[in-house]
Each structure stands twice: as structure tokens, then as C-alpha cells.
Structure 1
Amino acid sequence: MRRRLAFVAAVLLVVTGCSQDGPQPEEASPPAASSASAPPARGSAEVVRTLTTKLKSPWGVAALPGGDLLVGSRDAGTVVRVAAKDGRRTELGSVPGVAAAGEGGLLGLAVSPDFAGDHTLYAYFTTGSDNRIARLRVDEGRPEGRRLGAPETIVRDIPKGFTHNGGRLAFGPDGMLYAGTGEGGRSELAQDRASLGGKILRMTPDGKPAPGNPDARSIVYSHGHRNVQGLAWDAHKRLWASEFGQHTWDELNLVEPGRNYGWPKAEGRAGRAGFVDPVAQWRTDEASPSGLAYAAGSLWMASLRGERLWRVPLRGTKPAAAPRAYLQGNYGRLRTVVPTDDGGLWLTTSNTDGRGDAGPDDDRLLRLKVT
């Protein structure tokens, strides 16, 4: 049965030109950046604990003050609190209006920088008409399963599609809220400054254009992106993003305000005037990157189709060594990676969404020690 499903998936890839969360490489591609002449990154990444299992399509993960985690189910639209101490799960409830299909559903989660005082959770999710960002109050005093308040939409009309919905959500060190979006399968939107598709967005916690944006009237921070699902800041507060390519190159980009990252006119290192080339790139069968985090002086990139965790050590704005892969094939598809308070990582698998081989509702939240 698995071989038959794999054959059907392969046929669909040929027809569409890209897979859900994992594009198909062309038959002739040059070597990936991961095989550059620099020596590979040193250090280690070791799974020291499986915090919880039997998760259903986990996508968004947000750390609470004190270390516990909020985990969202893309397909079910629910949010659970997972205790960092023992993995105990408490259901907080469902996000109303989520319409899960394809790569859409309940995607990124982020907690307010003042969560201890305002108890506010931010969610990026797909509805019947668009992708949007809303905030909800988390009320721990209500009965289990009813602890999420009504969503208050702060951004709407982000283009949706069966694929390329983006979805990563994170607060930056400047206190502003950032979102990575996709172009919803309409590549021309990435170059359309009036569209929120194929962009990185930067906004106040109320969803308004953040001070210092390239256009004071817009929440658009950068454009020319295909499908951004990873956002992270390094020790010097520089923003990095991981991005799905189409046929040839997945990308790691250093993001600067107002810059154009090329899609659909450029994919990977094109060397074309007016476009920013990625800092690192991978063949799509080696990556299909979703989550991104910074820890131990390196960026860590979770890969879906590549089924591995990439480490990119940094020296300033450049890799200090060639990227190195960890956990290759050990846990299947890897979705979201989040730094821990003590310099480690949380990592989720993504095998129970109809495209993996784990059992029903058996994705995991793993604790990693990195050096």
C-alpha cells in the first residue's frame, strides 16, 4: 500500500511541479551548497528525550514563560499545552474558523512577549477565504478544552492556496510580530507589493505597520519569497528565514528590510541585479525546510522531504563552515524547531499528515542537546 501511495505521489509531483511542503528536484542539478569546499560544521545534536507522542499534525510550537509549550494541530485546529517536565498534555481548545486542507490549517503560533501579564496567544491560520493572523486570550481558569478565548483578527487577506500558505509566526527582539507568508501557488504575487503573499511581514502586536518598515503604511518587510516557514534571529538580532524552492533550490536567507529575494524571477543563487542571493542553498530533496531556530552559535533548520536537521554555523553574516546534517532518516519528516531556555532545541516530527509512514496521530515532540 505504501509503494502504491508513493507512486501516486510521484505522479502528482510530475504534474504539479512541486509537492506539498516538499518540492521535486529537476533531474539535473548542480551540487548543493552543503557540499561546499569548507569543512562541515562541528559539534553534536542528540535527542535526549521524547517529551510526548501521538500528536496529530503538529505545526506551530510556542514556548511559555517557565518552559512549557503550546502546540497547535494543523488539521484539527486545536491547541494543547505540553508540560516540559513530564509531557502532560492539557487541551486548551480549538481556534474557530480554521479550514484545514492541503498545507493550510492552524499554522504558526506565537505568545505575547508580555504573556505572563496579558495571556495572549497569536495564531496564523487558513480560513475558507484567506490566511489570517488573530490573537486569543488563554484563560487557565476555565474548564479544560475551553481555555481559548474568541479570536480577534489583526491581519486578514493573506492569499491562501492548497499549497504555499507560509505560516510561521514569531516575535522579534524588537517586540514586533513577524510572519512568513507564501504566494498561495500564484507566483506573481511574490513581486506584487500590494499583496501580502510571498512576503515577510512585520507589524505591531495590534497588526499595524511597525515603525521603521520600508513603507510606513504597509506591514510588508521584504518580498520576492515563495513559501517562508522558518524565522529566527541570531545573537546579533539579525533576521534569517528558510524558504521552499520549486524545482532546484531551497534557501536560507539573511532578511533585510525592503529587499527583493527574487521569486519567481530567481531561485537560489542567481547573481542577478536587484535580487538578494541566499546565504546557503540545498537541493530540494535534501531539505524542503520548515522550521528554523538559533542555538549554540548556529542556525538549525528542520527539513520535511530531506528528513534531517541541518546545522549552519555562523560567522557574522556568513556560514563559518559547510552545513551539516543530523538525524537523517531517524525520525522522518521534521517540521518545527524551537530553542529551549538552556541552549537546546525542541523538535517536532511531521509524519501523520497523509505523507509519512508513522501510525495515526503519532508525531512526536523531541528534546535535543546541541553543542
Structure 2
Amino acid sequence: METNNTVTAERFLAFLKCPTKAYFLAHGEPLPETYFSNVEKEITSRYKLRAWRMLQDRNEPAKPLTFEQMADGDSLATTTRWFECDTAVLDSSLSRNGVAELCTRKSVVDVPIVPVVFTPWEKPTLSDNLLLCFGALALSQSTGIHSEIGMLFFGDNLRQKTVRFSDHAEEFNQIINAIGTIPPGGQEPQCILNEHCAVCDFQLKCRTIAIERDDLSLLSGMAPKERRKTLAKGIQTILQLSYGYRPRRRRRTKPDAERAARSVDTHHIHPSSRHDNKLKALAIKKSRIHVVGTPSLNLCGVPVFIDVEGMPDRDFYYLIGLRFDSFDEQIEHSFWAAENFKLVVAST
């Protein structure tokens, strides 16, 4: 098991998604489920192999270099090497200044080694840039070789992007310092549910912890800023928050005006009533469903239900499903994309 100061690329990326996940990985917590991580690793591995073949076809002279190969002395080769940042290992206790070290440290050898990251997605994220910074710092720490820029390869067409590390210095420093403050084994981590939970291997474990603690992060609609304000008031659980709910007083109106108010649709309900986290906390506490206002549906014509599936990083939607009633019979259509922006009927 790695020490608290030893940070692998996997643990670094995990911290960017969720500090609790990084804690579990740092202390060797067994994965309750490995489906999502296996799928992600398989996609990335296949993409990387394909990317290297494409680079060879382009007569790219650079050769791949992993952290283990660099430790064995392969980094001293005379040819240009591309250091794969997802294999990097860093000692955070020696890198409190993070990227600031890269801006001042000079290379002890004149060897062309460039940190690289391969991502199969069409839209690179900030995590990809920060992983490049992580690899560059690990390279500098272990060999003294200094890099100011890294290369990011992404998408089906293997597009290329140059990342300058100084652009991310401040944020990267904060992350490295935060990773160094992860509590040691035996101490319970702070468990905050977030968007990554849907594809996390620790999803069930974290949700169980959150339910046991009655944690505020169970309210998925509560923004982090609002959660911090609530905690600052001393409200730490769903139960405590639920006691703060006060229903809005209804204004006294004449009978005609009251009937008109009842017929108003839910879109005209006051926003604070529609998204009241205190009311949601009350619903969780009582295990009830609360309906705000008096919704009314006036459907004219034939109701049509639409379902769209796609790939968000490519802005590409490959399936549109339709379902409707026709003469007491349910009709379904599936429109599959043969190519981008071209749809054909696949099934009826």
C-alpha cells in the first residue's frame, strides 16, 4: 500500500473527481465494484494503442516513456521521448510548491522529454491539463529534467493541444497541498456525494455512509456554496435542516381570484417554493413526496414521449425514440443515426 506522501496518477485523478475516493485508494480500500473503472481503463488503453499507431503512421520520431522506464535510466536516451503522465508517481512531501518548482528549476541534462496525456474524449477537460502538470512535476522531481509545456492528444482524429504549465500553477499547487492533508488510515473521511458518484466504484459505500450520517450531500440539488453556508450555521444533517422549513402563507383573496390562482400552472410558482432544500429535507425525513402547488395538465392533441441518447463530449446524438398512442395502440419508433446529423428509421 502506498504511503500518504506517495501520489500516483490514479490517485491524483481520483482526487480531482472526489477527495473521498482518493482517500479510499490511498489506504488500500477494496473496490466494492470495478465495472466503471474497468470500462474506463479499457477505453483509455485501446485509445492509447491506437494513438501510438497513428503517430507512427505520421512518421513521428518520438518514443513512449513510462515512469518505470525512466527510473531504469531510459530517460537518458538521445532520441525524443514522450513521457506518459498517467504512469507518473510523485512524492507530495517534496513538492509543496508544485508547478512553482517547474518555473525555477533548470534541467540537469539536455534531453528532449515531453510530458503527454492521451484522452479518447472529443472535449478535453481541466483534469487532463492538471494531469500534465502532475506528470511534469514527477519528471522534474525524479530526474531533474524540466519541462515548461506538455502535449495533449484527444479525440478520434488524434488532435493535438499544447498546454503551458504556468497557466495552471496556482490551482495545481492547491490540489497538491490538499492531497497532502488527506487524513491517515483509521480516521473517517469526509464523505460528500457529488456528480461523480453515478460512475464511481465506491458509490454504494459512500451513499451508505452519507445515509448513516444523515449528510446534507444527500440533497443533490444543494450547491456546494449553499452547503457551506448551511454548515456554517451549525446545521449538519438532513434532520436539522428539515426543522427550518416554514410553508409560505397563502394570501387571502376573493373567491374568483382564488379559483384563478388554483388554475395557474407550476411554471408560475415562486422559485423559492419549487427548489426549497428545507422542504426536500422534510420529504426525506418523513419519506413522503411533496407536491408544490396544484398542478394541472391540459393535454391537447396526441401526447408524444421523446427519449434522446447521445455522446455529450461530441455533441452527437445517435438515437431518438418516439412513443405515442394511435387508436388505443401504442406506437414506438427508433431513429438511429447512420452518420452525424443524419437519421434513419431503424425499427418500428
Normalising by the smaller structure, the TM-score range is under 0.3
Q: Which of the two has greater strand per residue?
A: 1
Rg (Cα) greater in structure: 2
TM-score scaled to structure 2, two decimals?
0.25
